[in-house]
Structure 1
Amino acid sequence: MAESDLLAPLHNIVGQYERESLDKVNDLRLAQSVVLGIIILTILIEAFIIFRPMVDKVSRYASKLQRDANFDYLSGLLNRRAFQIIAQQSIGAGHRYNRQLSLIMLDIDFFKRINDSYGHEVGDSAIKHVSNILKAESRESDCVARIGGEEFVLLLPDTDRDGAEKLANKLRIKVSESPLVANNDEIEITLSGGVASVRLEDKNIEIALSDADEALYRAKRNGRNQVQLA
C-alpha cells in the first residue's frame, strides 16, 4: 500500500513534466516557424529591393543592344542589316501573295561639300534632317533605312515602279524646299534618286538594289537633284 501511495503522486509528477515539456517544445516550434517566416520575408524583401532593379537594368540594356543592332545611331532609321532582313521577308510575302514591291535609293548631293564648308557636326545634322523628312513623308508600311554615309533606301510594299517614282520625286522636292538651318545659315540640300522594282523571280534584294544604285548614279551624272528609273 505504501508503494501504491508513492507511485500515484510520482506518476502525476511525471505526467505534468511531460505536458510542460511538450508545451515548451510546441512553443519552440512556433518560435522557429516565426523566425523562419521572418527570414523568408527578409530574403524576399531584399530580393525585391536588390535584384528587381538589377533585372530592370539588364532588361533595359538588352533592349538597347537590340535597338543598336537594328537602328542607325545617327539617323534613327533602320540600318543595313535590319533592312536586309525586312527586305527578305517582304520578298517572301511578295512571292506568296503576288504582291508588288519597289524600292527607292536616295543620296544627298554634294554631301562632302557640306562637311568641308560647315564641319562634320553640320553634316550629321544634314543626315538627321533628311532622315526626319523621309520618315515623316513615307507610309507606316514602308521600310526606311540608312545604308551608307549619306545614302538611304526605302522599300515600298504594294507599290509599282510608277508609284515609287512619284514618292521619290515627292521626297526630293520636300527636301529641296526644306533647307537645313545651322549656325544661322540656311543650307540647301538636294537629293538624287534611283527607282527599281523587285521582280517575282528575284530571290533576294541585291538585284533590285544594284538596279536602283545604277539609276541613282545616272541621276548624279545627269546633273543631280532628280530621279531616274532603272
Structure 2
Amino acid sequence: MHTVTTNYALSGWRGEFVDATTEQAYRKHSEAESARSLRRALLVWAALVVLFGLIDYPVLGHGYDFQLLFGWRLATAFVLLLLYWQLRRNPSLVSDGYAVTAAEVFGSVLFFMLYFLRHDMVSWVIGVVAIALLALFMFVPNRVHLSLMAATFLSGGMMVCVAARGLGIDKVIGLGFILALPTAVGFFTALRWQLAQRRQYVLLMRVVSSNRELQDEIKRREALEAELKRQATTDPLTGLFNRRQYEMLFQRERERCVRLGQEMTLCVMDLDHFKRVNDQYGHDAGDAVLKHVAQHLSCALRHSDIVGRFGGEEFILILPDTGLEQAVAVLNRLREELAQTPVPVRGQLLPVSATFGVTMVQPSDTDLEATIRRADVALYEGKGAGRNRVMTA
C-alpha cells in the first residue's frame, strides 16, 4: 500500500506525478487526446496570426514595416503548422512539452514587434498579450511549469519593450502587475485542471488494477476448481479415471448405447507379475510401470473410450460403440504394443505384459459390478492359460 501511495503522489506546483515512471505512464495514456487538442489549438492560432495581419495593411501600407511584420506572421504560422504536421507523425511531442514551449516563445516575438511597429494600438497589444497569457495555460495543452516559463518570457519581454521606450520604471512595474494577474489565474487554473486529470487517472488505474486482480482471482479459482475436479475424478498416480468417475461414465455410455442400439464392451486388464517388479526393483519402479502403462493406454485408445484404474495393477477399459470381435482385435494390438515397449528404470528396461479379460455389456447389466464379474472370469482364465493374452467371456 505504501508503494502505491508513493507512485501516485502529486507535485503541488508542477501538477505532475512525483514518480517519473507513473508520470510517463499518464502522459502515454493521455497522449492521443492531448495531441488532438493541441493540433486544433495550433490551427486556430496560425489562422488568427495570419488573419490579424490584414488589419496591419491599412495602417502601415506596403512599406518595410508591414513586410517585416507580415513576414514574421507568416514565419510564426509556418512554425505552428510545422509543429501541427510533426504531431500527426509523432504525438509524443506533446508529452514532453518542449516543442510546444519553443513554439510559444517563438510566437511571443510577434507581440514585441507589434508593440514597436503599431504605435497606434499599444494599449490594444497589451490587452491581447493579457488574453494570450490566459490562452497559453487554458487553450494550448502543455505542462504547467513549461507554460509558466513561456508566460514569463512573454510578460518579461513586454516589460523590456516598455522600458526600452523610456516610459519609466513605474510604467514597467504597473505593466508587470497587470500581466501577473492573467498569468496567475491561468497558472492556477491549469494547475488545478492537471491535478484533477491525474487524480482521475489514479482512480482509473485503481479500477483497472482491481479488475485485473479480480480477473486473476477468477482464473485462480477456476484453476483450483478444475484441479479439485481432476483430483475428485482421477487416480493421483496414473491420472486415469478413478472408480467413481468411470462408474458414472459407464452408466452414461451404457444408456446411450442401449438407446441407439449400439454394442459396448468392457475389459479388465491386469499387469503380469507386477508383484515381482515391486519386490525386485522397489515400489518406485512399480509406480513408473503403472504411469507408463497409463500413458500408453491413454494414447492408444480413442478419446471416446474410458480408461480407469481398477486398483493395484488392474485397469478398466470401457469401449463404447464396439462389438466383442472388434474389441478383441483392439486389445490384442494394445497388448502387443505394450509388450514391445519396456519401461526404463534405473538404467534397465523392464518388460511389461498384461492379461485382458473382455466381455460384452448386456442390456440387463444395470450396474457395473455384474459386467466386471464376467470380465474377471475371463481374466483369470487368461492368467491360468499363461498370461499375456486376451480372453473373452
TM range (shorter): 0.7 to 0.9
1:193 paired with 2:334, answer no
Distance 2:300 2:223 in 1: 30
**CA distance in structure 2 between the aligned counterparts of 1:135 and 1:43, rounded to whole angstroms:** 47
Query: What corresponds to 1:13 in structure 2?
Result: none
* 1:72 and 2:235 correspond: yes
Q: Deviations over 1:167-211 (max 9, x none)?
A: 222111111111111111111111011010001222222211111
State the AA in 1 paired with 2:374: D
Q: Contact conserved, 1:107 with 1:193, CA < 8 A, in 2?
A: yes
Equivalent residue of 2:245, what SS? helix
Structure 2: distance between partners of 1:141 and 1:49: 38
The percentage of aligned residue pairs carrying the same residue is: 33
Is 1:228 aligned with 2:391? yes
The correspondence of residues 55-134 of structure 1 with structure 2, limited to 5 A, is 55-134=218-297
Q: Corresponding residue for 2:207? A: 44
- Does the 8 Å CA contact 1:192/1:220 hold for their aligned counterparts? yes
- The separation in 2 between residues aligned to 1:85 and 1:124, in whole angstroms, is 26
Q: RMSD value over aligned CA atoms?
A: 2.3
Structure 2 unmatched runs, 5+: 1-192
How far does residue 36 in structure 1 lie from its aligned partner after superposition?
9.8
| 2:369 corresponds to which of 206, 211, 218 | 206
- The structure 2 residue matched to 1:140, chosen from 297, 300, 303, is 303
The letter for the 2-side match of 1:100 is E
1:219 to 361, 379, 382: 382
Match runs of 1:151-170 below 5 Å: 151-170=314-333
Q: Residue type of the partner of 2:262? A: R
Measure the CA separation in 1 of the matches of 2:198 and 2:344.
69
Q: Which runs of 5+ in 1 are unaligned?
A: 1-30
Identify which of structures 1 and 2 has the higher relative contact order when contacts are C-alpha pairs closer than 8 Å and 6+ apart: 1
Cα distance between partner residues in 2 of 1:174 and 1:104: 17
Q: TM-score, normalised by structure 2?
A: 0.48
1:226 counterpart letter in structure 2: R
Deviation (angstroms), 1:155: 0.8
Counterpart residue identity of residue 160, structure 1: G
SS in 2 for 1:147: strand
Deviations 1:137-169 (A, max 9, x none): 212221111121111111111111111112222
**Paired residues, number:** 201
SS of the equivalent of 2:311 reads coil
Q: Who wins on radius of gyration, i.e. which is larger? A: 2
User: Is contact 1:198–1:205 with CA below 8 Å preserved after alignment?
Assistant: no
TM-score if structure 1 supplies the norm length? 0.79
Partner SS, residue 349 of structure 2: strand
* Structure 2 residue aligned with 1:19: none
